[in-house]
Amino acid sequence: MVLPIILLIVGFVVLILGADWLVDGATSIGIRAKMSPLIIGLTIVAFGTSLPELIINVFSCIRGSSGLAIGNIVGSNIMNILLILGVAAIIYPIDVSRISIRRDIPAGFVATAALFVFANYTWGSLTVNWIEGILLLVLSAGYLALTVKKNDSTSSEVEVIQIPMPWGKTILFLVLGIAGLYLGGELVSNNAQIIAKAWGMSEAMIGLTVVAVATSLPELITSIVAATKKNSGIAIGNVLGSNILNICVVLGISGLITPLQFDTQMNNTLYFLFGANALMLLFVFTGKGRKLSRLEGALMLLAFAGFMTYTVMAQ
């Protein structure tokens, strides 16, 4: 067990470096394109930080472990909202823009509802098949088209970094950042699974906890880095965009590879995901202004601790 633990630690280090490079590179190229930090988080950063979920799901589907694939996504999305936004809000209160309230948060509800309907009520089977995979990819294409069309380049957050890095350095940071997230995610995910299996954990438990936590580490580190730089647009855009892409793109591609078997017990976790989205929306409208405060961030962390306790007890 010594080697997996060492590789797990190495994976954490690579993830931290990759996230820092990606935030800097993505922000620089976004400024050149006159994109707001929110749009950068929803597109460039969200795609980069969703790579571990995608790679793990592709490997899981090829191995026939589709239950782990769905558990990975649902668990990751719950962690993204409650843990990642909670930690980021504690570091620096997160301002939530009007466009996120009107477009991105509702899109997260729609994506979750689509997964719930596809898994339970379509085609007479408890699966997400290739047809539903295509429909999820169509939803993601529509969302991304709407995101680019509604790019609010006049946001004051664009002024967080006035001058972009040189093109050569920008591209280098993007490549190194995405590569670091991918390699770090692989190291953490693979070795976390080895450790978990050695401790006798079930596949469903691994998907909802260890794999979900491991594959969400890029989002966690990226949002923490963005929060420490007081760039709340990337912090929340990264989470909201990643959650939508996790369901629509990652599960969409996974469904094209093989039908994803759905355990009805997973519905309880989907209800929890709906609740996490609702809690986030509630906190946005409570207190002063449209923001997630440090207190609300702490309450989100408590809710995540409750989810993990429930999951462990249920297993």
CATH code at 178? 1.20.1420.30
Q: What is the DSSP letter of 200?
A: T
Identity of residue 39: I
Q: Domain limits at 201?
A: 2-314
pLDDT value at residue 306: 94
**Strand, helix or coil for residue 280:** helix
Neighbour-count burial of 256, counting CB atoms closer than 10 A to its CB (0-12 exposed, 13-18 middle, 19+ buried): middle
pLDDT value at residue 162: 53
pLDDT value at residue 103: 87
59: left (phi over 0), alpha (psi -120 to 50) or beta: alpha
Helix axes 232-245, 217-228, angle to 10 degrees: 160
Four-CA torsion 283, 289, 295, 296, nearest 10 degrees: 20
315 residues of the chain, pLDDT tens digit each: 789 889 988 988 887 788 778 878 887 888 887 777 767 766 777 777 777 778 778 877 877 777 778 888 999 999 999 999 999 999 989 888 888 888 889 999 999 999 999 999 887 678 889 999 999 999 999 988 887 776 554 444 444 445 788 999 999 998 998 888 888 877 877 787 787 778 777 666 777 777 787 777 777 887 888 888 887 777 788 788 889 999 999 999 999 998 888 888 889 999 999 999 999 999 988 877 788 999 999 999 999 999 999 887 876
Neighbouring residues of 227: CB distance < 8 A, sequence distance ≥ 6: 87, 88, 89, 91, 92, 94, 235
The model's pTM: 0.79
pLDDT value at residue 150: 65
CA 77 from chain centre, in angstroms, equals: 6
pLDDT value at residue 231: 77
Total domains present in the chain: 1
Q: What is the DSSP letter of 166?
A: P
Angle at 236 between CA 235 and CA 237, to 5 degrees: 95
